[in-house]
Amino acid sequence: MNTFSQTEKTRSKKAFESGFGFDTTFVLFFLAVEFGQIFRNELTIDGVFLALTLVSIIVLPYFLINSEKPIFAKWLLGRALIASFAALLGWMFKQSLGIVLPETFRFLPMTLLIVTAMISCYAQFYGFLRLRFVK
């Protein structure tokens, strides 16, 4: 049992050191902030689509091509906690608009989401297309 936990720790450490899911975590964070900002009590179609996108950004990056992957349940729990925290921050951000922050700041989370998504897309394509030597 001890060797299994050592193997699990080694796998998680290698995956963390390789930067696994690091760039998509920023996209997840800003998407969840945007979700928290538009969250209302009633069910709207844009809220449903944003929630589906949020769930897919939580789960699907795990299946990107990578040699070392952490344990799925722990990785999913960590990403869900990040999304929950960011959605709470987005809700608090919405409450502060017009009172503490100027109203024009309401576009800041979406702007940062677009920038991080572009950087993440570039990083993912670079990872897919970079040349590797044949052994």
Q: What pLDDT digit, counting tens, does each position of 61-101 carry?
A: 888 766 677 888 988 999 999 999 999 999 999 999 889 98
- CA dist., res. 125 & res. 100, Å (int): 40
pLDDT value at position 15? 47
- CA dist., res. 79 & res. 81, Å (int): 5
- Whether residue 134 is contained in a domain is answered as no
Say if residue 14's pLDDT is above 80: no
- Whether residue 79 is contained in a domain is answered as yes
For the chain, what is the mean pLDDT? 81
Q: Which residue segment(s) compose the domain that 26 sits in? A: 2-129
Say if residue 114's pLDDT is above 90: yes
Comparing 33 with 1, the larger pLDDT belongs to 33
Count of domains for the chain: 1
pLDDT value at position 16? 47
- Whether residue 112 is contained in a domain is answered as yes
- Whether residue 135 is contained in a domain is answered as no
Residue type at 99? Answer: I
Task: Say what the pTM is.
Answer: 0.76
- Whether residue 105 is contained in a domain is answered as yes
- CA dist., res. 99 & res. 126, Å (int): 43
